[in-house]
Chain A
C-alpha cells in the first residue's frame, strides 16, 4: 500500500515545497517600498466598500437552494436519458416517481411564496 501511494505523497510534498519556496524567495528577494495606497486591500482596483459583515437577504439562499434541487434533477435526467432504452419501464416508473416528488416540492415552494421576490 505504501508503495502504491508513495508517488502521490511525494507529489504533495513537492507541491508544498514549491509554493513555500516561492513565498520565501519573494519575501527575501523582492524590493519593499510600502505606501498607504499599497497597503489597502485590493478589490479589483475599486475602493473597498466597508466591513465584510453585511447581512444578505434570506431570499438569495432560498433561490440558491431551489436551484440546487432542480440542478440535481437535471443531473439525474441526463443519466436516465442516456440509458433510456436499457432501463425500460423500471427506469420510467422510478423517474416519474422522482419527478412527482420534485413537483410536490415545487408546488409547495410556490404556494409558500418562496419564488416571490417582493411581497
Chain B
C-alpha cells in the first residue's frame, strides 16, 4: 500500500523534496560570500539535477505502463490520478522547468539578480503544476493551481527594485487571484449541484441524474441543478483560461511576461501553461465528457471553439504590431494556446484519441520551442543591455552566428516550418481536427499560421538582413555555460523530434486519460 503510494507520488515527491533540500543547503551554507561566490552556480545545477531525476522517474513510470500502475493509481485516486496522461505532462513540466533553471543559472548572475530563492520557487511551482496536471478532484485541482501560481507571482516580482517588474507581478497577482476565486466558486457550485468533488463522480451524476431512467423526482432534481452545473463549468473554464491566457482573459499576459525576468517568463509560457492545459483537458474530458455536455449542440465545444478562434486571431494580430521581441513572444504564446484549444475542441469529436495525442505532442513541442526562443533571447543580451526590441537583434547573424542560428531554429519551430518539430506538431494537430470534422476551425487555424509567419520571419530579417543603426546601443551577447547547455539540449530536441517524430507521437497517442 504505502510502497505503491510512494511509487505513484515519486515524481512529485522528488521535485518537492529536492526543493526543500536546496532551500536548506542555500540557507545553511556558511561558505557563502555573496560578493565572490554566486548562489546560482551551484543551485542551478542542483535544481537541474532534481528536475531531471523527476523527469526520469515520470518517464520510468510511464514505461511501466498503465497495467503495472494500477495499484499505485488506486492508492492515490481520486485525489491524484497517476495515469499515462499525467505522466506525459510530468515529463513536459519537468523538462520545461529543467530548461528554465539552466537559463536562470546564466541570466540571474548576469543581471545582478543573483538570489538563491529563485530555484526553490521554480521547483515548488513545478511540483504544484504536476499536482495540477494529475488532479482528479476539485480540491487537489485548486491546491495544485495555487501552489503553482504563488511561486510564479514571486518569480515575476523577482526584480524587486524595478517598478516595471513589481507592476507586472501586482497585475498578475490580482488577476490570478481573481481567476482562482472564480475557479473556486465554480467548484463550489459543481459540488452543490452534484454533491461530489471528484471528476468521475461528477461525470457519473451528470450522466445519470434523471437521464437514463428518469422518474419525476430525478427529472426535477436534474432540471434544478442544470443551471448550477452550467455556471460551475463556465467558472471553472474561465479560471483555467486565465492561466493559459486565452483571449479574452489574456490582458495580463504581455505585461507580466515583459516585466518578469526572462527565465520567469519562460516558466510561465512553458510549464504553467502546460499544467493549466492538462487540467482543462481533464476537467472537460472526465467531468464533462458525457454525451450531452461534450456534443456540439448542447455542450461546451462551441464555447471553447469561439475561445480558440478569438485567441488565435487576436494573439496573432497584436503580435504582428509589437516592437519588442519579448512582447511578440508573449503574444505568440497566446496564439499557441489558441491552436492547442483547437485540439481540445477536437477531443470532443469523433477523433478523440487522435486529438488527445496531437494536443499532448503539441504541448511538448511548444514548451521546448518557446523556452528555447526565450533562452536564445536571454543569450542575445548582457548586463544592462537586454535584447528586447527587433533593433537589438539587427546584425546578430554577423556578430554572433551561433546565437542567431539558435534563435532562428526555435523561431522556425514556433512558426511551424520543417524540418523543426513545430511543423509536425501543427500537422498532427490540424490533421486530428480535420478527422474530427472541424474543417472551419482548421481553416481558421491555418490562416493564422500563415499570418504568424510574418512576425516570426521578421526576427530573421532583422538578424540576417539588417545592420544596426549607426550610434544605436547594441545588445552584446552574453557568455554562459548554463544557457548554452540549455539551448543545445532544446535545439537537439527540436531537431530530433522534427526528424523522427513518430516514436514520441506514438507515446503521446497512448497517453490517454484513464478514468
- State which residues 1-49 of A face B: CB under 8 Å: 1
User: Judging by beta carbons under 8 Å apart, are A111 and B20 in contact?
Assistant: no
User: Judging by beta carbons under 8 Å apart, are A112 and B27 in contact?
Assistant: yes
User: Judging by beta carbons under 8 Å apart, are B20 and A107 in contact?
Assistant: no
In the assembled complex, how far is the CB of residue B266 from the closest CB belonging to chain A, in whole angstroms? 25
Complexed CA–CA distance, A88 and B502 (Å): 50
Residues of the B chain whose Cβ atoms lie less than 8 Å from the Cβ of A1: 224
CB of A101 within 8 Å of the partner chain: yes
Complexed CA–CA distance, A107 and B205 (Å): 47
User: Judging by beta carbons under 8 Å apart, are A104 and B28 in contact?
Assistant: no
User: Judging by beta carbons under 8 Å apart, are B24 and A104 in contact?
Assistant: yes
User: Judging by beta carbons under 8 Å apart, are A101 and B20 in contact?
Assistant: yes
User: Judging by beta carbons under 8 Å apart, are B27 and A108 in contact?
Assistant: yes
CB of B444 within 8 Å of the partner chain: no
Complexed CA–CA distance, A68 and B28 (Å): 24
- The digit string for B388-416, where 1 denotes a CB below 8 A from any CB of A, is 00000000000000000000000000000
User: Judging by beta carbons under 8 Å apart, are A104 and B20 in contact?
Assistant: yes
User: Judging by beta carbons under 8 Å apart, are B224 and A111 in contact?
Assistant: no
User: Judging by beta carbons under 8 Å apart, are B224 and A108 in contact?
Assistant: no
CB of B23 within 8 Å of the partner chain: yes
User: Judging by beta carbons under 8 Å apart, are B27 and A107 in contact?
Assistant: yes
User: Judging by beta carbons under 8 Å apart, are B224 and A107 in contact?
Assistant: no
Residues of the B chain whose Cβ atoms lie less than 8 Å from the Cβ of A112: 27
In the assembled complex, how far is the CB of residue B223 from the closest CB belonging to chain A, in whole angstroms? 10
In the assembled complex, how far is the CB of residue B27 from the closest CB belonging to chain A, in whole angstroms? 4
Query: Which of A101, A107, A108 has the most B CB atoms < 10 Å from its CB?
Result: A108
Residues of the A chain whose Cβ atoms lie less than 8 Å from the Cβ of B27: 107-108, 111-112
Complexed CA–CA distance, A1 and B28 (Å): 58
- The digit string for A99-112, where 1 denotes a CB below 8 A from any CB of B, is 00100100110011
CB-nearest residue of chain A relative to B1? A90
Complexed CA–CA distance, A112 and B28 (Å): 9
Complexed CA–CA distance, A111 and B27 (Å): 6
Complexed CA–CA distance, A107 and B20 (Å): 11
In the assembled complex, how far is the CB of residue B147 from the closest CB belonging to chain A, in whole angstroms? 12
Complexed CA–CA distance, A77 and B28 (Å): 28
Residues of the B chain whose Cβ atoms lie less than 8 Å from the Cβ of A111: 27-28
User: Judging by beta carbons under 8 Å apart, are B224 and A104 in contact?
Assistant: no
Complexed CA–CA distance, A112 and B29 (Å): 11
Residues of the A chain whose Cβ atoms lie less than 8 Å from the Cβ of B28: 107, 111
- The digit string for B338-360, where 1 denotes a CB below 8 A from any CB of A, is 00000000000000000000000
- State which residues 78-119 of A face B: CB under 8 Å: 101, 104, 107-108, 111-112
In the assembled complex, how far is the CB of residue A108 from the closest CB belonging to chain B, in whole angstroms? 5
CB-nearest residue of chain B relative to A101? B20
Residues of the A chain whose Cβ atoms lie less than 8 Å from the Cβ of B224: 1
Complexed CA–CA distance, A108 and B21 (Å): 11
In the assembled complex, how far is the CB of residue A42 from the closest CB belonging to chain B, in whole angstroms? 32
Complexed CA–CA distance, A112 and B27 (Å): 7
- State which residues 14-33 of B face A: CB under 8 Å: 20, 23-24, 27-28
> Which residues from chain B sit less than 8 Å from chain A, CB to CB?
20, 23-24, 27-28, 224
Residue pairs across A and B with Cβ atoms less than 8 A apart, 14 shown, are A1-B224, A101-B20, A104-B20, A104-B23, A104-B24, A107-B24, A107-B27, A107-B28, A108-B23, A108-B24, A108-B27, A111-B27, A111-B28, A112-B27
8 further A-B pairs in the complex, CB-CB below 8 A; given A104-B24, A108-B23, A111-B27:
A101-B20, A104-B20, A104-B23, A107-B24, A107-B27, A107-B28, A108-B24, A108-B27
